[in-house]
Amino acid sequence: MQRLAWFSPVTPDRSAIARHSADLLPALARGRTIDVYAPAPAADHQPGAAVVMDPGDFDRRQRDAPYDLIVYQLGAAAVVDDVWPFLLRYPGLVVLHEDNFHAARARMLLAEGRGDAYRAELAYNHPGVPAAVGSLGVSGLLGGLERLWPMRRIVLDAARAVLVHNAWLAAR
């Protein structure tokens, strides 16, 4: 039987990503074992035949019995912040719900006091970007200009495959 790890918020979270997962998981669970790794507030909810797990258990479970496929539902909202550390260490199928991750990555890295990591990730995603852009980002002064540097290269490089919802997003 195929085993899937599914990183996603689930209902009762009100995000569109949680709704997409709620729609897909019952059909995907037929003939598969799916462990859903969801943020703590939803960890007591069982979406259909899938089992909701604490993301903190993933490393051990993956080491003990590797999954056949890891699926990451990735958006820019804070509800998917738990996904990033796993996505960057364990390649999988990434379902993009957004085209721009700059604000999300800045929020996460800067909240952790990791300004140097933010600058490094910005430079990785956008080679040749002036260092001043990273400094403005660390200072919180980029505002809407962050849309110019979407910081999605790291996602595409970390993924084994990428799915998108529409042609517009695929063209980005």
pLDDT digits (tens, 9 = 90+) for 72-82: 999 988 878 88
The arithmetic mean of pLDDT across residues 127-143, rounded, is 96
Contacts 24+ apart (CB under 8 A), 151-154: 151/100, 151/101, 151/102, 151/105, 151/121, 151/122, 151/125, 151/126, 152/96, 152/99, 152/100, 152/101, 152/125, 153/124, 153/125, 153/126, 154/88, 154/121, 154/124, 154/125
Contact between residue 39 and residue 82 where contact means Cβ atoms under 8 Å apart: yes
76, 126: one domain: no
27, 76: one domain: yes
pLDDT at 81: 85
CATH number, domain containing residue 31: 3.40.50
pLDDT at 1: 74
Both tokens of residue 51? 């089992």
41, 69: one domain: yes
* Among 39-43, 72-76, 151-155, 160-164, the least confident range: 39-43
79, 139: one domain: no
The arithmetic mean of pLDDT across residues 70-98, rounded, is 91
**Which residue reads 């899937």 in tokens?**
4
Say if pTM beats, i.e. exceeds, 0.85. Answer: yes
120, 145: one domain: yes
93, 105: one domain: no
d(CA 52, CA 42): 8
Cα dihedral 19, 21, 23, 29 in deg (nearest 10): -160
69, 128: one domain: no
141, 159: one domain: no
64, 78: one domain: yes
73, 143: one domain: no
* Among 3-17, 55-69, 148-162, the least confident range: 3-17
Q: What are phi and psi for residue 123, nearest 5 degrees?
A: -65, -40
73, 115: one domain: no
H/E stretch holding 7: strand 2-7
At 18-70, the pLDDT tens digits run 888 888 898 888 889 999 998 765 445 555 656 788 899 999 999 999 999 99
40, 76: one domain: yes
Domain that holds residue 14: 1-98+152-172
Domain count, the chain: 2
